[in-house]
Amino acid sequence: MSNNPHLWMRAESRPSERRAPLVPEDAARLVARGVEITVEESAQRAFPLDDYLAAGCHAAPAGSWTDAPGGAHVLGLKELPDGPAELAHRHIYFGHAYKGQTGASELLARFTAGGGSLLDLEYLTDDTGRRLAAFGYWAGYVGAALAVLHRRGRLRTPLTPTGLDALDALLNEPGQNGSALVIGALGRSGRGACDALAKAGLTPTRWDIAETATLDRAALLDHDILVNTVLMNRPTPPFLTDADLDGLRRLSVVSDVTCDVTSACNVLPVYTELTDWDRPVRRLREGDQPADLIAIDNLPSLLPVEASRAFSAELWPLLANLGGTDPVWARCLDVFKTAVAGTGNGEAAGDRADDDERKGYADAH
């Protein structure tokens, strides 16, 4: 890696992605430390391009990262577009490619063909396995908030980005609550989910490793809302099955913050497709006891400013060390090399507690 890193922040290809991995004020901090930053134009990003230019960044057309200098690190959040077939740069984003997800092998083949590499933000960890930059808190917050609003019949579709004050105002409105269970309550996502439920006037049941070691399935099904925030990195017995939904139950809303639907590590194998902003809810079971699913894989983008600022605050100090021999980035690169070699599935960074003080499940990003 160059000692003077060049970051190239690409425009997101997903129309509903409003977040930025690096916000203007943190970009200014990096520029002051000698980091060159190019920011692509984007009509959907929550932060204006002019704010990045004022911070000392350069501008580039959307999609021009394919022609970025060879030593540039291409920074993003969600999936790359389908082309080009060969990826020559080092990319920093959430690749979702190490656990056999749909399209994983094709993506890794593009890196192999072009000689590039993936520094997956999900595997950016310290030497204990704790993730160093994550959107988990706001993912959990929004996932739980949507579940409450749907149960109250007040979920407005299609979903649109908002601010925290506006979302909290909706949660503060009186309405039908019932009971809620958060699995993975000790992690970032779990804490966010619990905070949103508390804002709505609920006192959630909180489960983590101790409570799921021997799962009390009857107790799980006796809640109205289930919010799953657990990110697993190896196959494990599921928390909820089709048979559970077919039987007697109270459970009516499932919000899967983790969205590990195409992975063998999925702990909620009761659905096969994600939901989205246009259709955020899918009916899992009809009848007298309907059950609905919310499974949106970019939940924090519904609170793009708050989520981006929190994530950028954790990421920018790491980006400042990108050009050296920081073991954080070396570990991230090693996980990629293991994946493309076919000798592992990314477990080097998983299955450890993503909690500051107490041991709990690694949470969703």
Give 116-145 pLDDT, tens digit per residue.
999 999 999 999 999 999 999 999 999 999
pLDDT in tens, 166-177: 999 999 999 888
Q: 357 CB contacts (<8 Å, ≥6 apart)?
A: none
- Looking at domain 136-302, which CATH architecture does it have? 3-Layer(aba) Sandwich (3.40)
Q: Give catalytic residues, as residue numbers.
A: 78, 96
Q: What is the pLDDT of residue 345?
A: 45
Domain 6-133+304-349, CATH number (from 3.40.50.720, 2.30.40.10, 3.40.1190.20, 3.40.50.300): 3.40.50.720
Q: Give the DSSP per-residue string, 22-58.
A: S-HHHHHHHHHTT-EEEEE--SS-SS-HHHHHHTT-E
Q: Cα(204)–Cα(233) distance, rounded to whole angstroms?
A: 26
* Cα 144 from chain centre: 14
Quick: pLDDT tens for 60-90.
999 999 999 999 999 999 999 999 999 999 9
- Half-sphere exposure (CA, 13 Å, Cβ side) for 81? 12
Question: How many beta carbons lie within 10 A of that of residue 129, not counting itself?
Answer: 17
**pLDDT for res 2:** 46
What pLDDT does 190 receive?
A: 98
User: What span, in angstroms and rounded, lies between the C-alpha atoms of 161 and 300?
Assistant: 9
Domain with CATH 3.40.50.720 in the chain: 6-133+304-349, 136-302
DSSP per residue over 147-205, as a string?
A: HHHHHTT---SS-----HHHHHHHHHS------EEEETTTSHHHHHHHHHHHHTT---E
- What's residue 351's pLDDT? 30
Query: For residues 131 and 35, what is the distance between their CA atoms, to the nearest angstrom?
Result: 23
Measured CA to CA in angstroms, residue 161 lies from 45, 87, 156, 257, 300 at distances of 11, 31, 12, 17, 9
Within 10 Å of residue 121's Cβ, how many Cβ atoms?
24
* Number of other residues whose CB lies within 10 A of the CB of residue 234: 12
